[in-house]
Amino acid sequence: MSAQTGLWLGGLVTLMAWSYLYKENPFFRVAEHIYVGGAMAYGVFNTYYQVILPTWQKDMVKDGNWSYLIPIVIGLLIYTRYGGRGWNWLARWTMAFWVGYGAGYELAYSPAVFMKQVTDTFRPIKGINDVLYFLIVAASLFYFLFTVKKEGPLPKGVAMFGRLSMMVAFGAAFGSITMAYLSLIIGRLQYLLKDVVHLVK
Amino acid sequence: MQIFAKGMVGDFLWVLFLFICVYVMIRRAKAGQRIPEIRKIAGLDAIDEAIGRATEMGRPIHYSPGMSGFTGPTFAGLGVMPYVAKKAAMYDTKLIVTVRNMYVHTVSQEIVKQSYLEAGRPEAYTADDVRFVSDWQFSYTAAVLGIFQREKPAANIMIGHWMAESLVLAEAGAQAGAIQVAGTTNIFQIHFFVVTCDYTLIGEEIYAASAYLSKEPVLTGSVVAQDIAKIVVLATLVIGFIMASLGKSKALIDLIQK
């Protein structure tokens, strides 16, 4: 396939995907299925050549790390879901392992992130920004207390200040990320108009 | 022998403190002792409204627990799923769950199946309605866009970890005419939900969701424990801020980051 054919194909699939903006139609459906099917094919290919084969050939056969058999067996147990009532409970071992791993990882490594955020808030007052920084952090945290009733002018006011501060931050983020998305669209339009149909030099 | 990696002592003590708080509060809740109630969260009240609307219109509900594997937001999304599934089963409303992660898919199937069983309608459960779509971010997005337009859900509930696809999905949900409730802890995506969804769960609110909806004392107990931890953090912030202003915060920082 020549380079230009590839560019045309890319342009065509882009337009098919964008046709969704009008309404769902057969062209979008084809693009959607190509995307899902292609991703699945790539995933299978990648898993086989990047994970399964090197693990078997290098780690197990060449280096003799046969302990890899343990996670392999745990992983394979997931297929017992298709083995009927007598076997399908074994799939829960794989799930239990993954859920346990996920929960454990979160518990072990999440504090490291927010502990740093806590200590970063310890800033000496050098200007109004430092005071604002502290007040916004404290008020936002106060907003997320779910079992403390926000009754009375002070608690209500603090929670409202926290909420409004977050909304200001969301607005700023919305603006900047929308600009980033616009640049993506411009990049794609350049691809279509410059590389595919050569309308723009 | 070094037991802790450098900088992990403070983290360990913090997690231990959290464990104790959660354990004590759950014990109190189980013993029937009084624990504080969770305040009103509008986004979570709207879930009932969304399910009711889908039932009245005879159209399905779409639910997704987010894009990541087993992380905190995914657990939050999976925590709300039984509530939605049970209600959908009770009202005989079709529930479509789309999942990006294959492990989360298996757990989602189990959760929905169990919820239908608990609702007394195991025969209504259809495994094909809990769909693993693709583990590629935008393949998943393209497929869900198609589902929105072809199956026209009247309610779209998305609680979990969301990334760049959040705006595309929420906009497509709005186009399909769905009432939308979405929540995430990703501060770079929440604003997209705020502008496109009817109700948004901001950050931590998703962690209180399952307790709020189920009103189970044990789950509520763990939310109370989290609040205690937040109050401790708040107090630490105030002390740290004052000490930093007096130029004496180094000892406290060293203690926390030990």
In a domain, B222, yes or no: yes
Query: 């094919």: which residue's tokens?
Result: A41
Q: For residue A106, give how far its alpha carbon lies from the nearest alpha carbon of chain B (Å).
A: 6
Instruction: Indicate if B200 and B224 belong to the same structural domain.
Output: no
Pick the more confident residue, B155 or A2: B155
Domain that holds residue B225: 216-258
Does the beta carbon of B137 lie under 8 angstroms from any beta carbon of chain A? no
In a domain, B16, yes or no: no
Region label for A190, one of left (φ > 0), alpha (ψ between -120 and 50) or beta (otherwise): alpha
Residue A59 has pLDDT above 70, yes or no: yes
Mean pLDDT in residue range A34-62: 94
Residues 6 or more apart whose Cβ sits within 8 Å of residue A118: B233, B236, B237, B240, B256
Distance of alpha carbon B43 from alpha carbon B225, whole angstroms = 22
SS3 B194: helix
CATH, residue B203: 3.40.50
Contacts of B10 in chain A (CB under 8 A): 111, 115
Question: Letter for the amino acid at A193?
Answer: L
Mean pLDDT in residue range A89-117: 85
SS3 A84: coil
Instruction: Indicate if B162 and B222 belong to the same structural domain.
Output: no
Mean pLDDT in residue range A80-88: 84
B142 to A103: CB separation less than 8 angstroms, yes or no: no
What pLDDT is recorded for position A102?
A: 86
SS3 B131: strand
DSSP string across B9-62: HHHHHHHHHHHHHHHHHHHHHHTT---PPPPP-HHHHHHHHHHHHHHHHT--EE
Instruction: Indicate if B231 and B207 belong to the same structural domain.
Output: no
What pLDDT is recorded for position B165?
A: 93
Residue A40 has pLDDT above 80, yes or no: yes
Q: Mutating which of A29, A74, A119 best tests the B interface, going by the most B Cβ atoms within 10 A?
A: A119
Residues 6 or more apart whose Cβ sits within 8 Å of residue A131: A125
Q: Are A107 and B14 in contact (CB under 8 A)?
A: no
* Domain residue extents for chain A: 1-64, 66-120
Distance of alpha carbon B208 from alpha carbon B186, whole angstroms = 16
Instruction: Indicate if B78 and B138 belong to the same structural domain.
Output: yes
What pLDDT is recorded for position B252?
A: 86
Contacts of B37 in chain A (CB under 8 A): 147
Instruction: Indicate if B195 and B243 belong to the same structural domain.
Output: no
Contacts of B8 in chain A (CB under 8 A): 112
What pLDDT is recorded for position A150?
A: 84
Nearest CA in chain B to A79: B106
In a domain, B161, yes or no: yes
Contacts of B38 in chain A (CB under 8 A): 146-147
Instruction: Indicate if B193 and B226 belong to the same structural domain.
Output: no
In a domain, B28, yes or no: no
Instruction: Indicate if B167 and B87 belong to the same structural domain.
Output: yes
What pLDDT is recorded for position B115?
A: 97
Instruction: Indicate if B65 and B183 belong to the same structural domain.
Output: yes
Instruction: Indicate if B69 and B176 belong to the same structural domain.
Output: yes
Does the beta carbon of B223 lie under 8 angstroms from any beta carbon of chain A? yes
Distance of alpha carbon B41 from alpha carbon A201, whole angstroms = 54
Instruction: Indicate if B105 and B175 belong to the same structural domain.
Output: yes
Instruction: Indicate if B140 and B156 belong to the same structural domain.
Output: yes
Nearest CA in chain A to B107: A95
How many contacts (CB atoms, under 8 Å) link A and B?
Answer: 171
A39 to B15: CB separation less than 8 angstroms, yes or no: no
A111 to B10: CB separation less than 8 angstroms, yes or no: yes
Looking at the 3D structure of chain B, how many domains does it have?
2
Of B187, B204, B234, the CB nearest to A173: B187
Taking chain B (258 residues) in runs of 10, the rounded mean pLDDT of each run is 76 88 90 87 93 96 95 93 97 97 92 96 95 94 95 97 95 95 94 95 93 87 92 94 90 82
A170 to B191: CB separation less than 8 angstroms, yes or no: yes
Predicted model pTM: 0.90
Mean pLDDT in residue range A69-92: 89
What pLDDT is recorded for position A1?
A: 65
